[in-house]
Amino acid sequence: MSQLEWLAAALVLINVALVARRNVWNYPFALVAVTLYAFVFYEAKLYSDMLLQGFFFALNLYGWANWLRAKDDSGVPVGWMTPRERSLWALATIIAWVAWSAAMHRFTDAAAPWADGGIAMTSIAAQGLLARRRVESWFLWILVDLIAVPLFAWRGLYATSAVYVVLLGISIAGLIEWRRAAAAGATPA
């Protein structure tokens, strides 16, 4: 466990706690955390997660701009996807998971290409939905957390594994908060 991993883990906790509260200032913490985690995952040979940090960086910039435009006094408005959107996102995520993991398995010495690829592709979908302020993003984050905890512990990333246990709790709280906000009519533009 490196000091870099501990710092990245702390920043992720701050970031996700602010996301769950629909606070736009989660994004600066996210940008620094994903930059640090790119190095952490490279050292652990979790290449899908390493590359994922680049996607996260770009999606966090997009999300920050999107949330700044939508912010009101009670936080950013959130809402649900249509059933059709839900089906398309699910299908695209599964196809990406299989294709990416197969490529990582064949072309790299990745330690766990299938689990790592699943985390990466589901995280991209979750972050995209989060940037669009969709409640369903939290279901995906819960899935990511459940896969990540044992994977990161297996790779010796104990601080990161512990962070994902905490993130699981925050994701459940975020889901509850966003469902409540969506029911109250805080619908995204």
| pLDDT tens per residue across span 137-152 | 999 999 999 999 999 9
Q: How far, in whole angstroms, is CA 150 from its chain's centroid?
A: 17
Give the separation between CA 62 and CA 172, rounded to whole angstroms: 24
Give the separation between CA 21 and CA 2, rounded to whole angstroms: 29
| Rounded alpha-carbon distances, angstroms, from residue 73 to 41, 68, 109, 186 | 37, 12, 48, 11
Q: With residue 16 as reference, give the H or E element that holds it.
A: helix 3-20
**pLDDT band of 189, cuts 50, 70, 90:** very low
| pLDDT of 69 higher than 90 | no
- Residues 41 and 50: beta-carbon distance below 8 Å: yes
- pLDDT tens-digit series, residues 82-125: 999 999 999 999 999 999 999 999 999 989 999 999 999 999 99
User: Is the Cα torsion angle 100, 44, 140, 28 positive or negative in sign?
Assistant: negative
3-state helix, strand, coil in the chain (%, to 5): 80, 0, 20
- pLDDT tens-digit series, residues 2-51: 899 999 999 999 999 998 888 999 999 999 999 999 999 999 888 988 99
Q: Write b or e for each residue in 119-133: b if 16 or more Cβ atoms lie within 10 A of its Cβ, otherwise e.
A: bbbbbbbbbbbbbbb
pTM exceeds 0.85 for this model: no
